[in-house]
Amino acid sequence: MIALDATNNQADCACLLNIEKDKVKVIKRKTEKPFQNLKVVQIVLPGWDSSRPSDRAMEKAIAVRDPLFQAYGPVPILTYKAQLKTLLAEGQWYRDSRGSNQFEGQPHMLSCGLPLPNLGAIKAQFLATGGQIEHFEEYYHRRSQKEVLQNFGRQRANRYPHQQFTHFIITGDPQKNAIHDLAWVKEFGADYVCLHGFEITPKLAIIPRLSRRSVLELPRAKSLRKSWVVVAVMLPMSSPMPGLPSLKLLRHYCIQVN
């Protein structure tokens, strides 16, 4: 078996051939890592953990898109087919995220959502070709990673080694679902950072609910009479990305008064 698709790995080939992984011999050509001049900025937004984001999730994506446009100009966007018009996107997952050259040389790019192939169909194919059920989750994650990897290559950063490129990508929370963890891109030489939406725009700041067990972070205010007081403080925060304005982060502290 000769695989011309470089995104297939040893485990994938073993599954397709229904043999042990160590029986698959891998021959690689030593090359430079392709993303050494690419910075991947993951932006975590609630509601983007599936391929069918809600209207509220779309509003959050637009709230992130607008300051990026202000900072970097009309950044090309790639997303799901159903959201192309709403997000003013030029590219679509699967159609333009694989071999298209329409984004070549673009210094900045924004992708919204992750490619999440049909779970039932992929699982049936995996089991039919000899895959073991306990390995399916890892296999499914790799399928998504392959598409993401192809998409990160659409700017063709490797063809412009003396330029710097940035790829913003909106996803769900990697702490809730490992498929949204994109830290693996560092293996390909990319500079990687993970931010939350409110670090791009204060419009997405979430006011947390505080309980009596909250850690005391402010001096006690003896002049106040109530036993517990919630204090809101605006703290200056440096911009996480060059070109974006400095933000102010709303933080709440719970203090106890004797």
CA atoms of 149 and 171, how far apart (whole Å): 15
The two tokens of residue 192 are: 């990687």
Q: Record the pTM.
A: 0.76
Residues 1 and 57 grouped into a single domain = no
146 and 217 share a domain? no
* Residue 162 CB-half CA count within 13 A: 0
- Domain finish residue from 166, 184, 201: 201
Q: Are residues 98 and 156 in the same domain?
A: yes
Domain identity same for 186 and 106: yes
Contact 197, 64 (CB under 8 A): yes
Q: Are residues 129 and 175 in the same domain?
A: yes
229 pLDDT tier (thresholds 50, 70, 90):
very low
The rounded distance, in Å, linking the Cα atoms of 137 and 246 is 40
pLDDT digits (tens, 9 = 90+) for 230-246: 444 444 455 556 656 55
Query: Cα separations (Å) of 194 from 138, 175, 183, 184, 240?
Result: 22, 12, 8, 12, 10
Looking up tokens 């993303």, which residue turns up? 35
Query: Are 10 and 55 part of one and the same domain?
Result: no
**For all residues of the chain together, what is the average pLDDT?**
80
Domain check: are 13 and 67 in the same one?
Answer: no
Q: Of 161, 180, 201, which residue is a domain's last?
A: 201
The residue range of the domain holding 229 is: 207-258
Alpha helix (H) ranges present in 129-198? 136-152
Q: Are residue 108 and residue 139 in the same domain, yes or no? A: yes
26 and 38 both lie in a single domain: no
CATH of the domain at 183: 3.40.50.300
Confidence of residue 81 (pLDDT cuts 50, 70, 90): very high
Token pair belonging to 88: 């003013």
Task: Please count the structural domains in the chain.
Answer: 3
Q: What is the pLDDT of residue 190?
A: 96
- Give the number of residues written for the chain: 258
Same domain, 123 and 142: yes
Kindly provide the residue ranges of all beta strands, DSSP E only, lying in the chain, ordered along the sequence.
Answer: 38-44, 77-79, 91-92, 108-112, 165-171, 191-196, 228-237, 247-256
Per-residue model confidence (pLDDT) at position 116: 84
Do 46 and 103 fall within a single domain? yes
Q: Within this chain, do residues 40 and 25 fall inside the same structural domain, yes or no? A: no
152 neighbors 38 (Cβ within 8 angstroms) = yes
Nearest residue to 167 (alpha-carbon basis) of 188, 191, 189: 191
Confidence grade of residue 13 (pLDDT, cut at 50, 70, 90): confident
CA 191/CA 35 separation, integer angstroms: 8
The alpha carbon dihedral of 131, 135, 137, 143 has a sign of negative
